[in-house]
């Protein structure tokens, strides 16, 4: 593991000087003097101003629908602006295709499986997450979520000084409907800024989890809309209509599919506007320059890229794993840096704690990419990415990805190999034509799978089973969870 301590121990010069040399533009004002050493008074003052940290996770946001990732629509002007003054990872992939395992792997640096089955277990007590690591090192922490998928009931409040579930106090009917303005990101931003104004102490860590691009897809008053006013089909973005099309097997016309994509893009644009509101709020409080602000997602959304619609089903292709990852910290990170190469979800937290000058998390399997990224080297292509199965229902779906190859292995269907350079949409299985690469990737996957039981057993310690009450179950069902697999 490339923890921040390793190279420093070999050198016998003051630690703060080493950290500056090692990190250069990343974290110039850094924290590594905190526990040690003889820094000069001016240096000390600068070095002891650790940044605030905000991680905003926008649920269900696929990277290729954002303008800064090459989308033809201007869906993300605010994120584009943030990336222009920060760092954008071009090829970041999460380690699962649904919320719970993906969020926990992002916050722990540890690959799934973390949850045994759908919404029936808590985060293992012994697993260290980013918020508790920062809290332990002196950050004041608060989390804000507006989705039942990351409720405290499942342990997602772990490590936070305060954890605010913005949907929890809503009227039962509203809460279980999961649609309407009560679930919009502006409530998350308002709650976060209010917390900063009334309860924050420097430095602070905030986690924001919003869900606008998640179905149901809704239009927002006053926001840019992409829908075709002449569309006359049944798809209005509601889960009722989506479910009806699946259950009655009446399918989706080309116009229906276009309508759903247009609505989804509108949700992205609304979400982006709220990011702008957060950035403006930080600037107004003179907090923006010394805040490490991260925007990421837990998974994407399939719009018939391979077979069907949605997420959390039997698909580990890029439409579900390629997510945006942008980091801004004007006082500590370079501006306008785009980092090519494969970035794994499990590398996020190790990279963040490295940038903050903290030791690596004890359970992390990912590694910091800080130095390689800063050096403009991109991320080495040999770094394979492994995904666990969906775990909503055990079917053993796994994939392994490098920069240029994807092995997609569904034991009940097929094991396929895709050349991502020649075929970025992964439509043409080349397994039969390239048996050596198929075997090499299969070996990697099998080795990882063989070690999985031991890792799973280690995580069992401290995990509790969850029983849902009526409102919790209804809330999850209203987001399309707790249903059947798409089969």
The minimum distance between CB 446 and Zn ion, in angstroms, equals 29
Site string for Zn ion, 296-335 (x = CB under 5 A): --x-------------------------------------
The minimum distance between CB 267 and Zn ion, in angstroms, equals 13
Residue 127, beta-bridge partner list = none
Q: Is the CB of residue 82 less than 8 Å from the CB of residue 275? A: yes
Using the contact rule CB under 5 A, the part of the chain among 93-101, 113-121, 381-389, 428-436 near Zn ion is 93-101
Q: Based on CB atoms, which residue is closest to Zn ion, 298 or 319?
A: 298
The minimum distance between CB 73 and Zn ion, in angstroms, equals 22
What CA–CA distance (Å, rounded) separates 474 from 481?
Answer: 9
**Contact between 105 and Zn ion (CB under 5 A)?**
no
Using the contact rule CB under 5 A, the part of the chain among 57-65, 107-115, 130-138, 398-406 near Zn ion is 57-65
Residue from 76, 78, 91, 99 touching Zn ion (CB under 5 A): that is 99
Using the contact rule CB under 5 A, the part of the chain among 56-64, 194-202, 226-234, 413-421 near Zn ion is 56-64
Q: Based on CB atoms, which residue is closest to Zn ion, 196 or 474?
A: 474
The minimum distance between CB 459 and Zn ion, in angstroms, equals 21
Q: Based on CB atoms, which residue is closest to Zn ion, 95 or 99?
A: 99
Cα distance between the two ends of the chain: 38
Q: Based on CB atoms, which residue is closest to Zn ion, 155 or 281?
A: 155
**Contact between 59 and Zn ion (CB under 5 A)?**
yes
Using the contact rule CB under 5 A, the part of the chain among 97-105, 227-235, 285-293, 382-390 near Zn ion is 97-105
- Which residue is at the shortest CB distance from Zn ion? 99
Nearest to 154 by CA among 128, 125, 126, 119: 119
Number of amino acids touching Zn ion (CB under 5 A): 3
Using the contact rule CB under 5 A, the part of the chain among 59-67, 159-167, 168-176, 238-246 near Zn ion is 59-67
Residues 6+ away with beta carbon under 8 Å from 127: 104, 108, 110, 114, 363, 459, 462
Give the containing element (helix H, strand E) for 177: helix 172-177
The minimum distance between CB 149 and Zn ion, in angstroms, equals 6
DSSP character for 410?
A: -
Q: Based on CB atoms, which residue is closest to Zn ion, 59 or 265?
A: 59
Q: Based on CB atoms, which residue is closest to Zn ion, 98 or 163?
A: 98
What CA–CA distance (Å, rounded) separates 228 from 224?
Answer: 12
DSSP letter string over 212-272? Answer: TTSSSP---TTS-----TT--SS--S-HHHHHHHHHTT----HHHHHHHHHHHHHHHHHHH
What CA–CA distance (Å, rounded) separates 66 from 385?
Answer: 23
**Contact between 256 and Zn ion (CB under 5 A)?**
no
What CA–CA distance (Å, rounded) separates 145 from 208?
Answer: 6
DSSP letter string over 12-75? Answer: -S-HHHHHHHHHTTTTTT--TTSSS----HHHHHHHT-PPEEEEEEETT--GGGSGGGT-SS--
What CA–CA distance (Å, rounded) separates 34 from 166?
Answer: 35
Instruction: Give me Rg for the CA atoms of the chain.
Output: 22
The minimum distance between CB 283 and Zn ion, in angstroms, equals 29
Q: Based on CB atoms, which residue is closest to Zn ion, 291 or 475?
A: 475
Q: Is the CB of residue 265 less than 8 Å from the CB of residue 75? A: yes
The minimum distance between CB 381 and Zn ion, in angstroms, equals 28
Residue 322, beta-bridge partner list = 93
Q: Based on CB atoms, which residue is closest to Zn ion, 59 or 118?
A: 59
Q: Based on CB atoms, which residue is closest to Zn ion, 137 or 175?
A: 175
What is the contact surface with Zn ion in residues (CB under 5 A)? Answer: 59, 99, 298
């Amino acid at each position: 593991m490339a923890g921040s301590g390793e190279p420093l121990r070999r050198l016998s010069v003051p630690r703060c000087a080493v950290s500056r040399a090692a990190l250069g533009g990343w974290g110039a004002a850094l924290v590594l003097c905190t526990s040690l050493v003889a820094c000069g008074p001016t240096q000390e003052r600068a070095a002891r101003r650790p940044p605030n940290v905000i991680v905003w996770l926008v649920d269900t946001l696929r990277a290729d629908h954002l303008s800064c990732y090459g989308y033809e629509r201007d869906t993300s002007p605010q994120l584009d602006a943030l990336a222009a003054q920060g760092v954008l990872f071009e090829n970041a992939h999460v380690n699962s295709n649904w919320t719970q395992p993906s969020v926990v792997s992002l916050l722990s640096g540890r690959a799934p499986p973390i949850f045994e089955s759908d919404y029936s277990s808590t985060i293992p007590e012994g697993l260290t997450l980013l918020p508790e690591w920062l809290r332990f090192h002196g950050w004041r922490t608060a989390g804000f979520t507006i989705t039942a998928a990351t409720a405290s009931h499942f342990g997602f409040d772990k490590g936070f000084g305060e954890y605010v579930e913005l949907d929890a106090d809503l009227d039962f009917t509203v809460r279980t409907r999961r649609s309407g303005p009560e679930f919009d990101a502006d409530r998350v931003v308002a709650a976060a800024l209010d917390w900063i104004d009334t309860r924050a102490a420097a430095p602070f860590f905030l986690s924001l989890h919003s869900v606008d691009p998640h179905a149901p897809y809704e239009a927002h008053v006053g926001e840019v809309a992409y829908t075709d006013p002449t569309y006359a089909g049944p798809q209005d973005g509601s889960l009722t209509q989506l479910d009806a099309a699946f259950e009655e097997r009446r399918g989706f016309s080309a116009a229906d599919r276009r309508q759903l994509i247009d609505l989804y893009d509108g949700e992205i644009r609304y979400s982006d506007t709220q990011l702008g509101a957060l950035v403006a709020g930080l600037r107004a409080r003179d907090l923006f320059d010394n805040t490490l602000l991260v925007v990421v997602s837990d998974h994407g959304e399939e719009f018939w890229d391979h077979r069907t619609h949605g997420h959390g089903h039997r698909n580990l292709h890029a439409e579900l794993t390629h997510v945006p990852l942008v980091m801004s910290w004007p006082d500590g990170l370079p501006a306008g840096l785009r980092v090519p190469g494969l970035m794994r979800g499990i590398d996020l937290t190790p990279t963040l704690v490295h940038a903050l000058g903290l030791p690596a998390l004890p359970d992390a399997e990912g590694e910091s990419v800080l130095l390689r990224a800063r050096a403009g080297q991109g991320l080495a292509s040999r770094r394979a990415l492994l995904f666990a199965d969906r775990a909503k229902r055990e079917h053993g779906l796994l994939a392994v990805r490098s920069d240029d190859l994807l092995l997609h292995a569904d034991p009940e269907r097929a094991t396929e190999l895709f050349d991502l350079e020649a075929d970025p949409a992964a439509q043409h299985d080349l397994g039969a034509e390239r048996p050596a690469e198929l075997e090499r990737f299969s070996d990697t996957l099998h080795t990882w799978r063989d070690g999985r039981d031991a890792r799973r057993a280690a995580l069992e310690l401290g995990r509790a089973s969850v029983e849902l009450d009526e409102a919790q179950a209804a809330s999850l069902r209203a987001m399309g969870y707790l249903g059947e697999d798409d089969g």
